[in-house]
Structure 1
Amino acid sequence: MKIKTRDMILISIFAALTAIGAFIKIPTPIVPFTLQFLFCAYSGIFLGGKYGMYSQLLYVGIGLIGIPVFANGGGITYIFQPTFGYLIGFVVCSYVVGKLTENLDKVSFTKIFTPVLIGLFFVYLFGVSYLYMIINLYMKKEMSIRSAIAAGFTPYITSDLILSVLVSVTSLYVIPAIRKAGFKKEFVR
């Protein structure tokens, strides 16, 4: 597999942006509010499914080798954190959003917002499921599915929906500008 230097740089930039998004956070009891989802969705929209996924895999890989780029640190033992499922969800989200938007001829709010919502669904699917599994199986604490949803979904869905609208609205302006600059095939897939 050959990846152009420009694509490697863009993949790295979006991995770095996701890491920066982890440090822009509001601490809460189990799952902190961060801006990681924002950059995860942008990576899918601007890089396409495959390269967007690569950017999130790079981000997760860097964190797992020990560089503290996650919201609560880093290292291989991070897989035992209740929030690790959200990181898996970011990888899937970026791929799904990218695949659903990479061949759009005409950009509209609905054509961007719908894939972003589908990507957000996968973030929560993996995030809340992993949260439930780690707390019950690894930490050996009792947590019902309802409690997992209350801890990992309910407090954050409103802010993530706002971020989804922000991603969709800004993409309406950024994608045409990038295409007008002549990067239609190289940058916005």
Structure 2
Amino acid sequence: MKTRDMILISMFAALTAAGAFIKIPTPLVPFTLQFVFCAYAGIFLGAKHGLYSQILYVGIGLIGIPIFAHGGGITYIFQPTFGYLIGFIIGAFVIGKLTEGLKEIKVWRILGAVLSGLFFVYFFGVSYLYMIVNLYIGKAMTIKGAIAAGFLPYITSDFILSILVALTAVHVIPALRKSGLAKVITE
């Protein structure tokens, strides 16, 4: 791996961490900007390096550095929101896979990729929320309740953010190509 790649991977891990601190507290799952940087990691770094950036972010948090929305440490795996972090890893990979090598950079194509990644973030996030609340915390929560707590309050804002990511990416990608920095995204 080249030094440039390691720097970019680290940078997107740090941006995702910064996104955790830009939050609006809500009862169970806080609204943060982490997904925005997760999506950009997939778009700008590609599947493999986008995946690495999110693994690095989660790994740093699990070793004890408080970079998650509610802290850090290995015991964070028992937080109801940990599934969203797993979703960021998968989401960045999916977004990268769907945007790598796009011949035409169109808003709807980028948006489709971002929404596909968002699906996995919510899939893992809501599933983990349901599992932890029922099995670890010991409270009864239905699947409908998990969806109501971990999906419905956030999907509108995440959809709007996904549109903004797609709108900005279609302008940034050509600039990266022109400067020679877009290695992963080819014409």
Residue 40 in structure 1 maps to residue 38 in structure 2: yes
Instruction: Give me the CA root mean square deviation.
Output: 0.8
1:88-138: CA deviation from partner (whole Å, max 9, x where unpaired): 000000000000101112100111000100000000000000000000000
- 1:9 is aligned to 7
CA positional deviation for 1:141: 0.4
**How far apart in 1 are the matches of 2:185 and 2:22?**
26
**How far apart in 2 are the matches of 1:142 and 1:42?**
36
- 1:64 is aligned to 62
TM-score by length of 1: 0.97
1:130-151: CA deviation from partner (whole Å, max 9, x where unpaired): 0000000001100000000000
Check the 8 A contact 1:85/1:131 in 2, yes or no.
Answer: yes
**How far apart in 2 are the matches of 1:44 and 1:36?**
13
CA positional deviation for 1:44: 0.1
Check the 8 A contact 1:178/1:188 in 2, yes or no.
Answer: no
Q: Equivalent residue of 2:105, what SS?
A: coil
**How far apart in 1 are the matches of 2:18 and 2:185?**
22
Structure 2 residues without counterparts, runs of 5 or longer: none
**How far apart in 2 are the matches of 1:106 and 1:73?**
41
Give the AA of the match of 2:96: G
- 1:49 is aligned to 47
Give the AA of the match of 2:155: I
Give the AA of the match of 1:121: F
Residue 107 of structure 2: which of 102, 106, 109 is its match? Answer: 109
- 2:143 is aligned to 145
Give the AA of the match of 1:36: Q
- 1:90 is aligned to 88
Q: Equivalent residue of 2:176, what SS?
A: helix
**How far apart in 2 are the matches of 1:168 and 1:184?**
17
* Residues 173-184 of structure 1: pairs in structure 2 closer than 5 A: 173-184=171-182
1:62-99: CA deviation from partner (whole Å, max 9, x where unpaired): 00000000000000000000000000000000000000
- 1:30 is aligned to 28
Check the 8 A contact 2:20/2:67 in 1, yes or no.
Answer: yes
Structure 1 stretches (4+) deviating beyond 3 angstroms? none
Check the 8 A contact 2:76/2:82 in 1, yes or no.
Answer: yes
Residue 121 in structure 1 maps to residue 119 in structure 2: yes
**How far apart in 2 are the matches of 1:108 and 1:81?**
38
